[in-house]
Structure 1
Amino acid sequence: MKLMIRKNNNGALMAYVPKKDLEVAITESEKPELWGGVVTLANGWRLELPEMPGDTRLPITIEARRLEG
């Protein structure tokens, strides 16, 4: 699924899913650099993000995979 990741005014990471018109905070990240791991959104969704360099600039639109469970 397409996913846009950005930082809000407070510096918190936010995820926007255009197809669902849904914007929620990223509450947990499996890896400190975010990329190539699994993140958890405030609504409970778990998404696998692609591998990217740690210094990737935000905002960015990526292809993420939603994990079940």
Structure 2
Amino acid sequence: MKVMIRKDNAGVLSVYVPKKDLEEPIVSQENPDLWGGTVTLANGWQLSLPEMAEGTTLPITVDARKLSED
């Protein structure tokens, strides 16, 4: 699914999912540099993010994969 990742003025990362009209802050991330790992949103969703080059600027739209909720 296509998602937009951005950082607000306070430095908080958030994910916007246009098809769901949903914006949630990222509450934890697997990798400190964000890319190539999973992130957890405030609503409990876990998304797998693609590998991106170090220093990728935000905001950016990427193709993330929602991990199943068991």
Question: The TM-score by the shorter chain falls in which range?
Answer: over 0.9
SS at match of 2:26: strand
Deviation track 1:32-53 (CA, whole Å, cap 9, x = no partner) reads 1100000000000000000001
- Within 5 Å, give how 1:27-46 maps onto structure 2: 27-46=27-46
| Alignment RMSD | 0.6
* Percent of matched pairs sharing the same residue: 64
Q: Would the aligned equivalents of 1:34 and 1:54 in 2 still touch at CA under 8 Å?
A: no
Aligned residue pairs total 69
Q: TM-score scaled by structure 2?
A: 0.95
Counterpart-to-counterpart distance in 2, 1:48 and 1:54: 17
- Within 5 Å, give how 1:45-60 maps onto structure 2: 45-60=45-60
Q: Which amino acid counterpart does residue 16 of structure 2 have in structure 1?
A: Y
SS at match of 2:31: coil
- Within 5 Å, give how 1:2-41 maps onto structure 2: 2-41=2-41
Structure 2: 5+ residue stretches without partners? none
Q: TM-score scaled by structure 1?
A: 0.96
Deviating beyond 3 angstroms after TM superposition, the runs of 4 or more aligned structure 1 residues are: none
Q: Would the aligned equivalents of 1:49 and 1:65 in 2 still touch at CA under 8 Å?
A: yes
